[in-house]
Chain A
Amino acid sequence: MQTQSIQELTNIARHLRINIIKMVHNAGCGHFGGAFSSADMLTGLFFYKLNYRPDDPFWEDRDRFVLSSGHMSAGLYAALAKLGVFNEKELMGFRKFGTPLQGHPKFNLKYGIEMSTGSLGQGLSIGNGMALAARLKNKNYRVYSLETDGGSESGMVWEGIMTAAHYKLDNRCVLFDLNNVQIDGYMSDVMNIHPVADKFRAFNWHAIEIDGNDMQQICAALDEAAATKGRPTAIIGKTIMGKGVSIFENKPKYHGVAPTDEEFKTAMQELGVQS
């Protein structure tokens, strides 16, 4: 992937958010809150760091990405379409009958979807398996997954965190979207997960804490992760759920609902789309 300027990357993130809200609005359902909070980290990964050939999604040496929190599928699909893996027009089929763009991702390499996810907490272990495979095959590819704070309440995540450190998987990197919101409310009210970075460090990971909505910090952290040897890296990005549209920001109710027509209109305006 060619290196792009921070301004270009920020524009791509805005473009992803526009498509995400269009998809969810068009589908009448879906989860855009987390897709918005993680859109900047996803952009940094896909358009700055990921070693990937959009015209050859089966390329054996490609970096892998697993969307552990499958409900944020709209963000993944928007990014893959923007990369050119498939036509952007297909995004409007999201969640509709017969689409490869299922409500939660279904394994489909032709579309760049590396893994079926949706049941939370499984992607960390799956990414570890892919990272072990790279080691067995003497490949240099790296494996990324996007984890979330809510999704990491699942015990299996911590099993995988232990395994990645035990096997010193330095080709393994976790992007951790810390937006402090889960479906039933704020995490401090439902189930506190803090301190996240300390937990990763206690499990022998390299942990980098950043503003997960700051593209400069995201790119720097991705570079630092790639240069870290002997242990896996967690990039813990503090983010704002619904980031990018003021009426959605940090409001739990926008975790898993489609915007009303009025809200959609406001979102389009705030994202700079001319009506």
Chain B
Amino acid sequence: MTNEPLNIATRVAYGKKLAGLGETHPEIVVLDADLSCSTKTDLFAKKFPNRFFNVGIAEQDLMGTAAGLAQCGFTVFASTFTIFATGRAWEIVRQSIAYPGFNVKICSTHSGITVGEDGASHQSLEDIALMRVIPGMKVLVPADAHQTMGMMEFMVKDKGPTFMRLGRAEVKDVFDSDYRFTLGKGEVLKQGREICIFATGYVVRAALDAAQLLASKGVQPTVVNMGSIKPIDEALIVQMASQHRLLFSVEEHSVIGGLGSAIAEVLTAKAPQRLIRLGMQDEFGQSGTGAELLKHYRLDAQGIADSISGCI
């Protein structure tokens, strides 16, 4: 393995890794709903056309068909945009995939505001909440390409339903090729003091950069990556709560029901501590470049740093 940086979108890492896993895992079948060029499942489709099925623009049928294939023993990766996978098809995911406990991996792309120009209709801000609430559903949000691939290595060995939230935009590496994913574990990326930032997905990189900006003001926050949102690393949250006086969560998702809420649930039960949730504040997104939107909603490095500065 080389440690060449990847710096690619998590959806691209997903597509490439899936095509690779197809070689050693004949039990993998991939389904898409007319977005394979965008979700990057087209890479698998070209290599293994017999194990790829496009159901057209029919996300409910996508999940139902996935359930039937999984019932017969296949490991099914079902992909489309996140808003459709977790929104439009939610009840099929609940009834026909999660309730019987089937081995379907819902790996959807174009999550959050970094979708950009397509605007609010395509910017899923509710998906973590929607999937987290389903019994037995694991929820994973990779911060970069390396973590995406690590999570996929886990998923092909694991049985049962999982949701993985992928992004459209290129993201700079947070990890390197030595990265190994462990379910239910977060990672301390930067050890600081007094302030702790928990981040997930695309904005983990921005949280690290925000820590750099704050360092120039004498603030040294700890930065923690929370890729496994369900199950969540309760021990790490409790530890961070005991070691810091103020906690922040950062996500390109609604602050209602997402990472911040998941952390708050642990804190209220096990380690009461103040937590400021940064993310989409009960609002829809809009068109613009990803960078413009992250800036507007204060989810870029400067915005995160400013929000933290304003609270301390």
Contacts and interface: CB of A to CB of B under 8 A. Distances in A.
B91 interface: yes
A129 B67 contact: yes
Given A119-B95, A122-B95, A136-B51, A129 B72 contact: yes
B96 interface: yes
Contact of A133 (B72, B96, B100, B101): B72
B64 A126 contact: yes
B156 interface: no
Contacts of A115: 67-68, 71, 96, 100
Contacts of B95: 116-119, 122
B25 to A, nearest CB: 13
A156 B61 CA distance: 6
B55 interface: yes
B92 A122 contact: yes
Interface residues of A, number: 33
B216 interface: no
Contacts of A143: 68
Interface in A95-114: 106-107, 114
**Residue among B55, B66, B67, B72 with max Cβ neighbours from chain A (10 Å):** B72
Given A106-B99, A137-B72, A129 B64 contact: yes
Contacts of A133: 68-69, 71-74
A90 interface: no
B289 interface: no
Nearest to B94: A119
B65 A128 contact: yes
A106 to B, nearest CB: 7
Q: What's the dominant secondary structure at chain A's contact region?
A: helix
B68 A127 contact: yes
Contacts of B99: 106-107, 116
A130 B71 contact: yes
Interface string B91-120: 110011001110000000000000000000
Given A107-B99, A116-B95, A160 B64 contact: yes
Contact of B58 (A117, A118, A129, A159): A159
A182 B74 CA distance: 36
A177 to B, nearest CB: 19
B272 interface: no
B69 A130 contact: yes
Interface string B45-66: 0000011010110101101111
A124 interface: yes
A162 interface: yes
A116 B74 contact: no
A76 to B, nearest CB: 15
Nearest to B58: A159
B70 interface: yes
A119 B60 CA distance: 12
A23 to B, nearest CB: 22
Contacts of B69: 129-130, 132-133, 136
Contact of B65 (A107, A126, A134, A155): A126
A136 B29 contact: yes
B68 A129 contact: yes
Given A122-B64, A129-B65, A116 B72 contact: no
A250 interface: no
A125 B56 contact: no
B60 A126 contact: no
Nearest to B57: A159
B56 A129 contact: no
A106 B56 CA distance: 29
B193 to A, nearest CB: 50
Contact of B60 (A131, A132, A137, A156): A156
B292 to A, nearest CB: 36
Given A136-B74, A160-B64, 8 more contacts: A107-B100, A126-B96, A129-B64, A129-B67, A129-B69, A129-B71, A130-B69, A163-B58
26 contacts: A66-B68, A106-B100, A107-B100, A107-B101, A119-B91, A122-B92, A122-B95, A122-B96, A125-B68, A128-B61, A128-B65, A128-B68, A129-B64, A129-B66, A129-B68, A130-B68, A132-B68, A133-B69, A136-B50, A137-B72, A155-B60, A159-B60, A160-B64, A160-B65, A163-B55, A167-B53
